[in-house]
Amino acid sequence: MPPGAPLLEVEGLSVSFATAGGRLRAVDGVSFSLTQGRRVGLVGESGSGKSVTAQALMGLLDAPGVQVEGELRLGGERLTATDERRWRTLRGNKVAMVFQDPAAALNPRMRVGEQVTEGLLVHQGLGRAERRRRAVELLTRVGLPDAGVRVDAWPHELSGGMRQRVCIAMALACGPQLLIADEPTTALDVTVQAQVMALLARLQAETGMAVLLISHDLGLVAEWCDEVMVMYAGQLVERGPAARVLTRPRHPYTAGLLASLPLPGERRERLVEIPGMVPDMRAPPSGCRFNPRCPRADERCRAEAPAWSEEAEGGHRCHLPLSEGT
């Protein structure tokens, strides 16, 4: 791959599901690219389409009734219409994922060491002794205490934080270029959350892989990532450098997410929630999808869907973007 070339390119990604009440378009025309070594956050409320986007990037949506459209390229390889056989090679080797709930992600009937190196057996055909040695090495690398002993533990014998470290070791086993971390700390205690994010930061710096961090927590994403993408009702509504998005959001939805956050070093009398709910994606509102909840909405917002506007520091999808001080 030429230096500086995007590692991941996503163009017009749309995902829809057949439901009893009609076709549900969970992701609608999402485009972005991601460069090696970057940490990019994808943020939005539950139901905004973040996790479905991640599943599409892992080739996990090959099921009856699911339609995936658009272009995906990883390391220059076109993944549109890639078959499951090829995806099995790519998963783990080039792109790996850490899930929200480590208890659900691990097989309760396999010792953790075997799970960590399952990918090495599949992709590299390593023998038993070599796999055990690599498992201890990987578990040490992710900071699992007494890795030489715990390599033989069952998942239920470990704490939630330890299980997430095992999942991270599994994801890193084959040296992926892209790690997708989908709400990796949501199921953990606050102190353990900080440790897991520090671990991911260290591993990202050591390996140079790109990380796509998916979270409902804009504070975490803005603090941890170089760049932030904000998703609402299946669409990207804002993108930009984290420092800019956190201090000078352009989209009213991003501003609403920020207003609902306690920010470090800032005293707020009251946190303000965004009124209303994420729309039913079988029948999204006409015009701008955020208009029923937006304090700035006018007639044009209700009638005409805003197109993506590219700017010097990112971009947004809004007819009436915020400027500094508004």
All residues at 6 or more sequence positions from 312 whose CB lies less than 8 Å from its CB, including other chains: none
Q: How far is CA 104 from CA 5, 118, 155, 167, 197, in A?
A: 36, 17, 10, 10, 20
**Residue 274, interface with ligand SF4 (CB under 6 A)?**
no
Task: Return the ∠ at Cα 39 (arms to 307 and 268), rounded to 5°.
Answer: 75
**Sheet of 235-241, strand order:** 95-98, 178-182, 210-215, 39-43, 227-232, 235-241, 314-316, 309-311
**Residue 99, interface with ligand SF4 (CB under 6 A)?**
no
Minimum distance from CB of 48 to ligand SF4 (Å)?
14
Helices (H), 21-127: 50-57, 84-93, 102-105, 112-116, 118-124
**Residue 258, interface with ligand SF4 (CB under 6 A)?**
no
Minimum distance from CB of 257 to ligand SF4 (Å)?
12
Cβ neighbours around 315 below 10 Å, total = 20
Segment contacting ligand SF4 (CB under 6 A): 82-90, 213-221, 239-247, 283-291? 283-291
Q: How far apart are CA 202 and CA 284, in angstroms?
A: 41
Q: Scanning residues 188 to 247, which ones bind ligand SF4 (CB under 6 A)? A: none
**Residue 301, interface with ligand SF4 (CB under 6 A)?**
yes
Element holding 135 (H helix, E strand):
helix 128-141
**Residue 34, interface with ligand SF4 (CB under 6 A)?**
no
Q: Which of 74, 96, 119, 86 is nearest to 207 (CA)?
A: 96
**Residue 32, interface with ligand SF4 (CB under 6 A)?**
no
Pick between residue 155 and residue 306 the one whose CB is nearest to ligand SF4. Answer: 306
**Residue 249, interface with ligand SF4 (CB under 6 A)?**
no
**Residue 291, interface with ligand SF4 (CB under 6 A)?**
yes
Among 98, 294, 314, 315, binds ligand SF4 (CB under 6 A): 294
* Residue 6: both structure tokens together: 């995007």
Minimum distance from CB of 300 to ligand SF4 (Å)?
7
Q: Which of 143, 129, 203, 194 is nearest to 171 (CA)?
A: 203
**Residue 153, interface with ligand SF4 (CB under 6 A)?**
no
Q: How far apart are CA 293 and CA 278, in angstroms?
A: 9
**Residue 322, interface with ligand SF4 (CB under 6 A)?**
no
Minimum distance from CB of 23 to ligand SF4 (Å)?
24
Segment contacting ligand SF4 (CB under 6 A): 100-108, 110-118, 294-302, 307-315? 294-302
CA distance between the termini of the chain: 43
Pick between residue 194 and residue 303 the one whose CB is nearest to ligand SF4. Answer: 303
Positive or negative, the CA dihedral 55, 59, 60, 63 is positive
CA 59 from chain centre, in angstroms, equals 14
Among 6, 155, 234, 252, binds ligand SF4 (CB under 6 A): 252
**Residue 288, interface with ligand SF4 (CB under 6 A)?**
yes
Among 44, 236, 297, 315, binds ligand SF4 (CB under 6 A): 297
Segment contacting ligand SF4 (CB under 6 A): 76-84, 103-111, 267-275, 293-301? 293-301
Interface ranges with ligand SF4 (CB under 6 A): 251-252, 288, 290-291, 294, 296-297, 301, 306, 318-320
